[in-house]
Structure 1
């Protein structure tokens, strides 16, 4: 079947190339309109319990797209006209930002932060500063005293040293576009030019806005990597066909993938550019393998007077099996990611499967068909011959594999596997370090985040809902007391800077009604008393004032937790302690519901990744075993080719643990694709050994030919791609830099395994799917001596 298919492709090569060119033009036209953006809803596992709670209450208690702005006075405190003017200006202008929820803009300059006063003349609820700014020293002093005696403002919105104040703004999620929000808010903040006043800015819309901001830089790095690929291919291959055909393969593959993605409605997330580079690298790799084999075949065939088409035909027939198997392995392993309930991963998996699938056309079919027209060059494009160096390296590989050193290689590989496996167990799920792992620690976003967390209770929030379907349930003493107990329990965790709920508000109102007597700073003993206190607080309220605390029916209340970081361990500890409290404090009426806000969403994503990661890896390995078993008709083949995959993944995971790179929503696809990446090189070399043995070569001769042919392609491809992806390490996006480093490590381990470990294992164990059942002819004196010694021992 393989031979018939190869003959058909070469016979109708004009039609084949014309059809591929026509389809490429069509997909290229479609690819022009593909959207490059991050969609927040795609990040959420919609069926998860926490996300359901988040979606049900986000419009009331605050979503996960909250933006926090800190206005800091470098000299003195914030109670200066020039500082308060900045706060007031930002508060008013933020309401004009696209998709902002106007009822969720909160600061000391807004209507939302109020003071309740009580005296013999009545009860009065007024905004603490709105609408007029204090100007005189007496007015400024009065404002400071208001802040200091209001626990809902002093701490949550004004720092303990009075040098900073916060402005928080939330968005209507369905209308939010990260890039638009980022541009409008940063433009507003950058317009502040007040000496001695520093404005800091954090929040997911800002974070992903920075990702889009660095997109031109990322594209430039990709173009630089492409130029490096061109230069290295030209130097190493010394021919124009060896330079441009791999690039043509990558270009056709990328065009098809982006065109198909746009047609089926999949957008391109800026953070997956590393994935795109990795898949394009696979296309280049397969193409280089084909060109290397073609160069070998064309020398033999042209010496016999045949055309280069015969060389292309032989190359296509011999490499179709390992090439298609490698592509199928890549596609199936990354398809496993689609089992995740996270839409972003599902769409990314579909994009990756399509992209990997196009490599079968762009590299395995198009490259040998194009080579069928190419004449063997009578000279080279430049005089620098690195072939001798490659030949020396491959001779070294052969010497190590066929000598007694092969046992040392296998033993050391087993030791490395065990040591790295031990360290890989410490790989963290979720963010492994404070701040955002997408950006470098010294980036403006992470420095702003650290400054806000240092001054305040925490920039990232989670809300836990307590209540039920019964109206006015939150007014009951049992519910309010449960809130207070829960807050005291969870605030013991150091990473939780503080909490806020209606149970904090009502005691303050009760004290105010008693002319400030601290003895009465407590909750009401009955539902009616608590209802009266709540009525007093909201007497002068406007729409949205109570949204941070209770819903409109007063059936559900929220406890907002402020987090100083979003590390995976911090989030897991908090969720575990919340569940511990719920289990030990059952409610007669109502229930606790986890968990909304940014930290709630992160907790859901981390739990999905933690529960599904091991299953995904196991399933991907199972798919690898099945594919290899079917293609080579041997269960041993499936187990044999697990070696490079397990080794490359274990080494990479241990390196991630060492570097503090967590397994999160961005790194999971790279890990899944790496499973397929780990086996490609080994497939080409082992399949070539099999071909040479079937052609009658001896054991050592077959290994030598495989290394000098397929092994040469492995070295060229690995070196070119490692150098090119390392350029991404210069990115301002820490995530992309780290993923480039991981890909380089993956390629290095995969190449080493293919060149040393797999031939050594094949030579030692002589698996039947490679060697067959026939007796292998001895190729060296060493082998003959081994046979003699074995007979003597017998």
Structure 2
């Protein structure tokens, strides 16, 4: 094999090793330029990138987005009086100041801002003279006892108790819809900056022993995620340190240890630089990509170093050892990395911006590794070589087969192979059983991305406990012809729909224009309860809706939103609502009106869940199709492909089972992990079979073949799997729950892929009769 490489390998090898200085100079220049770009990468997040771009629900929402400004991307700021109620002059002054502060935060939709201190929050009542009303804050308010009594009366008449005022009257809420574009800069809204302003200009400034500030909303979640995700730098540094120690203990060579780490970090820096050139940033969900790039770089770098040490042991000088290492691994390495890159791009089938950006970032990172760890690393090692201590250590390892190597080599024998296949079959059945209980979407209340005891989730729990209207709102849009949304027949349909949905499990309350009309007719008839209903006389209906609260009909009266307040946004709750809406439409086909789903944070999340549920199977099909195709092209053997792919399939199924058992839902944060785990796991099988192919060419038995593969590359596979698992396990301590979940899943997948490669591959090779001679019994 060493003397007669393929024409492709020989051509590439000649170019690289005859032009070493030129190639390293070009790579060095690119590294400097990309490093300059990398330091300019900024954390980013976008509301529109978090939602499915082409889903029916989202298209309906975007059609009426302006009319639904207060029901999409909203921040809720609650001011609580811990030693009294809201009807105190000092508290009202603080509430007024906080309202003003929120009003002037860049990105807040000031026209839609709501608070007791904004003029669009009004009260109304029926008197002997008809309807009277006005702003909740009385004219001439001066903080006196009389003004506060008037404020209390107006608040009770406003219908805002449980909405903008706590049920126990100890807190008041400021509702701040957000724009996608910061009007001051013309750039997309910076959620980290917005979150920082909410903390520094609101919470830190006004929170005291007697006043508590609570802040919830998508922007605040993202801001907290970015702040917490920045701690991934600490975990990245810890991973580098752990890898350095373990790699040195494995290779006993400082030069090669530094070289592998340098080029793996080099790949991360170049990846970030390219992302910045393409106009991308790093969002909380793609924070794991640099670590994965580093992990893949280390995996391939270890294989190169392992091969260089082996060829050094056989007597080759440092230049020839590097050349032979490149020659023996270039095909396997290229296959693995191209498989990774194309496999990661399959995430593009998921119509969610942050996942698509993650796919682009991961693919770019893998492409960079081809240059850094498959090309630059061997060239550099051809100059520096490995230490004599590394060569001596490797020589001892070759001369004395370890107990561990012998143990794993036994899986190429019939007895152990049968045990491995039987255990694999049992795990497959167990995995299939538990994986059916895996859920789509969030399984916890509040923001599942954050820890249950995080400030955000404590704030959210307070609002849920003290306000009648939930922060989880599912909006159905009742669409009619222009000027027909308050037509009697249409209001009847809305009212019937509202009643049907109100009886759905998980629904707290439902509000619509029909409620306003009922109350108006009730008021026009001296408050007689028998008149609390819809009226067939259109003139009466029109009069009852003379003053409609903003947000309940659009400007040309062609759409009236039905607001469904939910207990939470758990996957089952959202699915119950969607099913109830579909059932009502199916059983009662409305005439002249169309009920469209869905807006509100809960409606958008239900659309996201649907996209993820549909995409997860398609994504896995694409990932495995790419892996199978490339392995088939490389090894030209169906039996070899089966041996490589089966352990990956088992790991995928067991990972889904683990998610079900641990209560981790499949969502934006966790879905990519499954594809990424397959991409990294396939590297192990490809490298092992590249050495199996070499040994079979020497006419070895399967046992001797696998023993050779273990000695050549199996130890590197085991080292990589254990090292990466230990490194990523540190994520379990992240303040961001979804990062902790990712760390747990990746640790599981790294270890299982490694064990599967070392035990199932030889067992499958035995079962499929791969090899020229029978195994030793």
Please tell me the TM-score bracket, short chain as reference. Answer: over 0.9
Quote the residue 2:612 is aligned against.
609
RMSD over aligned Cα atoms: 2.5
1:5-154 alignment runs, 5 A limit: 5-61=12-68, 62-121=70-129, 123-129=131-137, 133=141, 135-137=143-145, 139-150=147-158, 152-154=159-161
Q: Indicate whether 1:436 and 2:439 are aligned.
A: no
- Asked if structure 2 preserves the Cα contact closer than 8 Å seen for 1:63 and 1:171, the reply is no
Deviation at 1:218, TM superposition (A): 2.3
Q: 1:566 to 1:132 in 2, by over 3 A?
A: farther
- Asked if structure 2 preserves the Cα contact closer than 8 Å seen for 1:117 and 1:513, the reply is no
- Asked if structure 1 preserves the Cα contact closer than 8 Å seen for 2:229 and 2:736, the reply is no
1:590-601 alignment runs, 5 A limit: 590-601=593-604
Counterpart Cα distance in 1 of 2:226 and 2:647: 36
Gaps (5+ residues) in structure 2?
Answer: 1-7, 183-188
1:544-555 alignment runs, 5 A limit: 546-555=549-558
Q: 1:628 to 1:381 in 2, by over 3 A?
A: closer
- Asked if structure 1 preserves the Cα contact closer than 8 Å seen for 2:413 and 2:775, the reply is no
Q: TM-score, normalised by structure 1?
A: 0.91
- Aligned with 1:285 (options 299, 302, 319): 299
Q: 1:157 to 1:492 in 2, by over 3 A?
A: farther
- Asked if structure 1 preserves the Cα contact closer than 8 Å seen for 2:474 and 2:603, the reply is yes
1:305-344 alignment runs, 5 A limit: 307-344=317-354
Quote the residue 1:543 is aligned against.
none
Deviation at 1:194, TM superposition (A): 4.5
Quote the residue 1:746 is aligned against.
749
Please list every run of at least 4 consecutive aligned residues from structure 1 whose deviation after the TM superposition is greater than 6 angstroms. Answer: 381-390
Deviation at 1:733, TM superposition (A): 0.8
Quote the residue 1:729 is aligned against.
732
Quote the residue 2:3 is aligned against.
none
Deviation at 1:312, TM superposition (A): 1.6
Deviation at 1:95, TM superposition (A): 0.9
1:358-397 alignment runs, 5 A limit: 358-379=368-389, 391-397=402-408
Counterpart Cα distance in 1 of 2:561 and 2:696: 71
Deviation at 1:510, TM superposition (A): 2.6
Deviation at 1:75, TM superposition (A): 4.3
Quote the residue 1:462 is aligned against.
474
**SS of structure 1 residue aligned to 2:111:** strand
Counterpart Cα distance in 1 of 2:193 and 2:138: 28
Q: 1:155 to 1:377 in 2, by over 3 A?
A: closer
1:449-488 alignment runs, 5 A limit: 449-456=460-467, 457-471=469-483, 473-488=484-499
Quote the residue 2:517 is aligned against.
506
Deviation at 1:520, TM superposition (A): 2.5
**SS of structure 2 residue aligned to 1:607:** helix
Deviation at 1:209, TM superposition (A): 0.8
Residues 178-199 of structure 1, C-alpha deviations (whole Å, 9 max, x = no match): 1222122222122224543322
Deviation at 1:452, TM superposition (A): 1.1
Q: Indicate whether 1:642 and 2:660 are aligned.
A: no
Quote the residue 1:786 is aligned against.
none
Q: 1:452 to 1:652 in 2, by over 3 A?
A: same
Counterpart Cα distance in 2 of 1:402 and 1:606: 46
* Alignment: residue pair count: 760
- Asked if structure 2 preserves the Cα contact closer than 8 Å seen for 1:98 and 1:180, the reply is no
**SS of structure 1 residue aligned to 2:485:** helix
Quote the residue 1:177 is aligned against.
190
Counterpart Cα distance in 1 of 2:407 and 2:124: 83
- Asked if structure 2 preserves the Cα contact closer than 8 Å seen for 1:69 and 1:200, the reply is yes
Q: 1:53 to 1:419 in 2, by over 3 A?
A: same
Residues 459-510 of structure 1, C-alpha deviations (whole Å, 9 max, x = no match): 1222211122422x12111222222222222222343222222222222233
- Aligned with 1:251 (options 257, 261, 265): 265
Deviation at 1:264, TM superposition (A): 1.8
Q: Indicate whether 1:158 and 2:165 are aligned.
A: yes
Counterpart Cα distance in 1 of 2:632 and 2:231: 44
- Aligned with 1:655 (options 648, 654, 658): 658
Deviation at 1:145, TM superposition (A): 4.4
**SS of structure 2 residue aligned to 1:191:** helix
Counterpart Cα distance in 1 of 2:138 and 2:243: 61
**SS of structure 1 residue aligned to 2:231:** helix
Q: 1:469 to 1:348 in 2, by over 3 A?
A: farther
Q: 1:625 to 1:385 in 2, by over 3 A?
A: closer
Q: 1:52 to 1:254 in 2, by over 3 A?
A: same
Residues 325-346 of structure 1, C-alpha deviations (whole Å, 9 max, x = no match): 1112111211111122222222
Counterpart Cα distance in 2 of 1:130 and 1:408: 81
Counterpart Cα distance in 2 of 1:492 and 1:159: 25
Counterpart Cα distance in 2 of 1:451 and 1:409: 52
- Aligned with 2:199 (options 186, 189, 196): 186
Counterpart Cα distance in 2 of 1:685 and 1:381: 22
- Asked if structure 1 preserves the Cα contact closer than 8 Å seen for 2:416 and 2:763, the reply is no
